[in-house]
Each structure stands twice: as C-alpha cells, then as structure tokens.
Structure 1
Amino acid sequence: MLTGSPAIPFQQMHMQADTSGRVLVLDSGVGGLSVQREIKRMLPDAALLYLADRAAFPYGDWDAAALREHICALVVSVSEVWQPSAVVIACNTASTLVLKSLREIMSVPVVGTVPAIKPAASQTQSGVFAVLATPGTVKRDYTQDLIIEFAPEHHIALVGATGLAALAEDKLAGRVVDLDRLLQEIVPCFVEKDGQRTDCIVLGCTHYPFLQEEMEQVAPWPVTWIDPAPAIAKRLVQVVEPETIATGFEDLFFLTS
C-alpha cells in the first residue's frame, strides 16, 4: 500500500530533506493513503510526503483545542524543513478543526477533508442517507452546517464509529478484520424512515474506504458508499500551481512514532 521509501521516523526528517515542493499529506495513521492514491492518480508525477502522525492516533480522541494546536505546530514544523507546495489534511476530524487556522498561517494552499454531505444529498434516491464518521466529526458544528446548507430536507443518520479506524489500521498491517465488530459499527447507518431506507453512506473518515469491501460483505442491504478522496485530489489540482510541485523524486513516508 505504501509507495516510495519505507517508513522513516519523524526524527530523521531533517536528514531526508533533499527537495522542496513535495505535497505534504497528513493523517493520524495510514488512512490518508486513500487520499494519496487519488492524488497520484490525478498527479502521477508529483512527489509526495506522507506524514502518519501515529503518536497522536486517533485524532478523534483529542480535545478540540489541543488537537488544533498540535496539528498546526506539526504542520509548521514539517513545512520549515520541507517547504511543501501544498498541504493536504487527509482527515475529516482534523479538517473540521484546523483548516481556518492553518490557512491563516501557511503561505501555500491547504486542502481539507470534509464529510461528503453535498454529494450524498444529490445522489440519494430515497432521501435517507448516513454519515459514517468518528464521534468527533459527527459532533462538530462544521458537519451540522453542511447538513443545514446542503441537505436540510433529508433524513440523515449521523453515526459516530469508535473502532473503524483501528480496524482499517489492522487491515493495512495485514491483520484479519473482525467482521462482527465491523457490523456493529456500521449497522446504525441502515435505517428506515417513512417507508424509505438508507441508500447512500458517506465515508466520513479517510480510513474507511480501505474497509469498503468488508462493509459491503456485512451490510444489511446494498448502498452507495461515497468516498471523498477523489474530490480532495480534484480540489488540490484546482488550487496548486503545477510548476511548484516537485517531480522526479520518490514519495516518502514518515511516522511520528
């Protein structure tokens, strides 16, 4: 799943800085690789720097103010060494908190990840869909504002899953996914309202697309799974100047622990 070099400890980052202009992709673990693969699909020659903030995993357990301070400090620290051409926060929980602050302090484009409520509202045929995310993303005002703006007439099940990100980490580490636990996490998404039932589920965490095959396997009925990664990559292409992106270098993968 990882491209380029093997994982390198964060402490060695200074020793590895051989070029500026890479696109910095950040998540609390390996979930953001679902976003990285879409970036590589749209920008195949771009050099990427993926930072897995394992020391802080999972972001959903953090106090909001502390998480905002932590991520801003981390991005600034990395950027001082690597001088990225753009920053992608490949995490819904983090994005709902830090985008405004980061955009105020960074001189390069900052692209975030937000629940794909607008696409779900346009794709649902039943008017009933679910947002499957971390508890932190579900409770954020940002998420509620998206619902008010784009889906005020829809019936939406907001489901805060506590263990799905860890299950995705297990899968990407080669461990077997616990399907019973997976079903327990996703079954609240499947609801019926006025004779209609859930027909779309927004994957509101970048870890979750890696579990889509297993979720389809245990789902009570077929639904459309909405992965935000293609839209994130498309937004990056729109806001970054192509000539500022480093090319001709392998992608790098760093761990903070």
Structure 2
Amino acid sequence: MNRETKVIGILDSGVGGLTVVREVMRQLPYERIVYFGDTAHCPYGSRTPEEVRQFTLDIVDFLTTSFSLKALVMACNTATAVALEDVRQKVDVPVIGVIHPGARSAVQASTNGRIGVIGTERTVQSGAYRRALTRLKADLHIVSLACPSFVPLVESGRAEADDVFPIVQQALTPLFNDDIDTLILGCTHYPLLRKHIARAMGDGVTLISSATETARELKSIMLQQNTLTLDPSERPEHRYFTSGSPRLFRQIAASCLQLTLDAKHVHLEKV
C-alpha cells in the first residue's frame, strides 16, 4: 500500500475495535482499512483522561504520518468519550466516534424507555452515553454500570471460555432488577463477550453494539463527500498494527472474529 492510497483509519485500545473493522468490511467492501490496536496500554478504562488523550493522539500521529486517510474511526468508547474533539481539531478528514451511533440504535430499539449502558470506568464516569441518549429522548430511564473485568478477559484471549460466564453474570448483577429492555455494549471489546452477556441478561433484553451504526454513519458521510470506493474490481489491502504482541493479536482475531490477519508491532515513541 503506497502513501498515496487513501485509507480508512480505525483505532482502538486493543482488539475490541476489530468488531468495527468487521462491520466496515461488510458495509464498505471495497475500502482499504488501516487498524491500530494499542494493546500495550490497554485497558484505557482505568487510565486518566490525560493518558487516554495522549495515547489516542499518538496513534493519530502514527496513522496520519504513515498513511493518507480519507476518514478516521475512533472505535474505542473511552477514547471517543475523552478525546473525540481533540482528534477532530487535529485532522482534516471526517472523524467518527462510536458513542452517538450506539445511542441512536438503542433509542430506536427500546420499547419501554429503560436503557442500560455498560462500559469501562472512564466511559461511564464521562457520562457521554447519558448525554447522547437524553439528547435523543429526554425522558429515558438510564442505568450505567462499569464492568472493568471485561476488557482484560477479551485481551487475554478468554472471551469464548465457558468459565467466563460466572464472571460476566456477577458483574451484571446490578442491572437485573431495573427492568431494562435494551443494553448498550459501551465498549467495542464487549461484543466479543456477547454470548455470555446475552445469557446473563436473558431473552427480553436487546443488546446494542455500536459497530453496525458506526459503519453506516461512516458510509453515509463518505457518500456525501464522494469519497466512497464503489469499484468492485478493487481488492482492498488491509493493514493491522499493535503496540503489544502481534501473536496474541492474531490469535484473538482468529478465534473471536474469524479474521485471518497479519499484525505488525509498532512502538509509539511518545508513549
């Protein structure tokens, strides 16, 4: 992939953003993607806002100096909550976060107006989902819950393990008596735990992953700006980078997402 090739950049604190990558591939099949997962500093949810902002801006520096971007997706809820506006001021291409698309999807899905949000400590503390949801519909009943144990489970490659269910069930216990009918998976790692979360919450709760809505918003913006690749003869070449172990990154991508990929280690100098 040469420097002149226009690509979609996608960043995340680790492997969770690959759920967004998969959906972008499905909805925008002819686009080239460059993904960066900051597994060396994951999870972001327990980091200070200053750390999250610096890590995010360092990744943006890498992506913008190494590739020619046509759009940038912040596939990390924590980074979106903390640094979305900073990134928008830094780059001259559309920057899409995952919070507002997820909120819109949840409001559309809920029938009783009682919506749960699970995320990292930093995302929940930011109140970003609550603000996004109440802008869309003021009279919602919103219950937010931090689940700090979830990201390490995914990043360790254990998301599919049967013994993970009791951990997930215990973490979600505070939500069981709130009569929510919709639950936002407010971290892109959480869809990789979907089977356990769905089992714990029961059939009456709709789980919302922001990946589908984020890809749809990205496609809409690119159509408006006439930057969408529509040529079916294009064979997109995707690139993956991680600040941590490429081997573990590949293993998790293969086991949880059925993505076969090659990842390259990158040391971000500033961090």
Whether contact under 8 Å (1:190, 1:220) holds in the other structure is: no
Q: Does 1:210 align with 2:214?
A: no
Maintained 8 Å contact 2:124/2:145 = yes
* 2:82 maps to which of 89, 97, 105: 97
- In the alignment, is the contact (CA less than 8 A) between 1:27 and 1:53 conserved in 2? yes
User: RCO higher in 1 or 2 (8 Å CA, sep ≥ 6)?
Assistant: 1
Gaps of 5+ in 2: 245-271
Counterpart position of 1:107: 92
Alignment equivalent of 2:71, drawn from 86, 95, 99: 86
Q: TM-score under structure 1 normalisation?
A: 0.83
TM-score by length of 2: 0.79
Instruction: Count residues in correspondence.
Output: 237
The percent identity for this pair of structures is 28
8 Å CA contact retained: 1:49, 1:253: yes
1:191 paired with 2:177, answer yes
State the Cα distance separating 1:107 from its structure 2 match: 1.4
Partner of 1:254: 241
**Is 2:45–2:78's contact at 8 Å kept on the other side of the alignment?**
yes
What secondary structure, in the 3-state scheme, does the structure 2 residue paired with 1:59 have?
coil
> What residue number does 2:256 align with?
none
Query: 2:209 corresponds to which residue?
Result: 227
Residue aligning to 2:52: 67
Name the residue aligned to 2:254: none
- The alignment yields a C-alpha RMSD, in angstroms, of 2.4
Counterpart amino acid of residue 84 in structure 1 = L
Query: CA separation in 2, counterparts of 1:178 and 1:254?
Result: 28
Give the one of 5, 10, 15 matched to 1:30. 15
Instruction: Report SS of the residue matched to 2:112.
Output: coil
Deviations 1:30-75 (Å, cap 9, x if unpaired)? Answer: 1001101110001112111111111210111211123212211221
Mark the CA change 1:83 to 1:176 in structure 2 (over 3 Å): closer, same or farther: farther
Displacement of 1:89 after TM fit? 0.6
In structure 1, stretches of 5+ residues that fail to align are 1-15
Q: Specify the code of the residue in structure 2 equivalent to 1:248.
A: R
CA distance in 2, matches of 1:70, 1:90: 14
Cα 1:251–1:154 shift into 2, 3 Å: same
Q: Separation in 1 of the partners of 2:22 and 2:202?
A: 29
The letter for the 2-side match of 1:207 is H
